[in-house]
Amino acid sequence: MDKEDLFDMSADGLEDVMPIKEVFDLSGKVAMVSGSVGLALYVINRLAECGAKVVFGARTQEWGDMAVDALKDLGHTNVAFKQTDVRTIEDCRALVDFAEKTYGPVDIVVPVAATWQARAFLDMDEELYDEVVDTDMKGQYFLIQAAARSMVKAKHGGKVVTIASVAYRGDDIYKIAMMTPYNAAKAGVVGMTKGIAKELKQYGINVNCVAPGGMVTPGAIENCVETVERYGAEWQRDQMGGGSATPVATSPDDMARMILTLCTSVSDFMYGKVVEVDGGSDLSFQEKPWSYTMEGGLHA
């Protein structure tokens, strides 16, 4: 084959490429999210902005009602809240039932709901351990299971985006640590993402994972307050000092945009992948232009 024939093989396919506006168009899709504030709220906003009908569930009715009002103020009329405790399988299934009755079979599920609290390993008690692991891992597992059953019955495929954290790779509070249940739960989320992805591919369901880094959320602030009450001002000073060395997103939308992307056809050829959105927390960035050849370099 000559070069023109080879080029035509490539160029002819351009006619079949989906327009980028359609790639991000979720009109007619039913999405389900766990959580109501912080990252969850931003994910709901982005899904609704792209046309999805969104059902979300969380433990606190007050925050849920406030989220619905805030979203409707932005023009998102197809959003609905149901009080949900993802630590219980019954509530996970009830949220899916509510979604199906409200809008129809589920197309997208993003289990964002999570909790953590810094606590020394030697001080850890069973109650806090269960609270973190049951919310952050078990809750995701069974919410995905319930949503996947809806997708399989509807025979229309779907998108699952699990939420890990850079804590899965052992990252936690700089020079303090104290996040062992969270480390364990988020590592578990990565493992289960890969396992679930292998099983659900046959049904046309893409399962992938986003691992956020540090971000400012109501939950993070609330949890730090509880830790300060336990360990005192010295812990707070060390935590704030170490935090200055860690990239922190001022808006959860930095993460929500990537999560949205994996909910679209962008992820059609992705299975069981982990996308880290962490501001480069594992990198040591160069801070000065040391070049001696380029204008603007220190030694040019």
What gap in Å lies between CA 140 and CA 113, rounded to an integer? Answer: 8
Residue 28 to residues 33, 53, 73, 124, 181, Cα–Cα distance (Å):
16, 7, 21, 46, 38
What gap in Å lies between CA 197 and CA 202, rounded to an integer? Answer: 9
- The CB-side HSE value for 214 (13 A sphere, CA atoms) comes to 19
End-to-end CA distance of the chain: 50
Measured over the CA atoms of residue 225, residue 227, residue 232 and residue 235, the dihedral's sign is negative
For β-strands 214-215 and 108-111, DSSP reports them as unpaired
Please identify which of the residues 174, 182, 271, 292 carries the catalytic annotation.
182
> Closest Cα partner for 162 from 37, 66, 34?
34
Specify whether 182 is catalytic: yes
Using an 8 Å Cβ cutoff, are 114 and 59 in contact?
A: no
Q: Which residues are catalytic?
A: 182
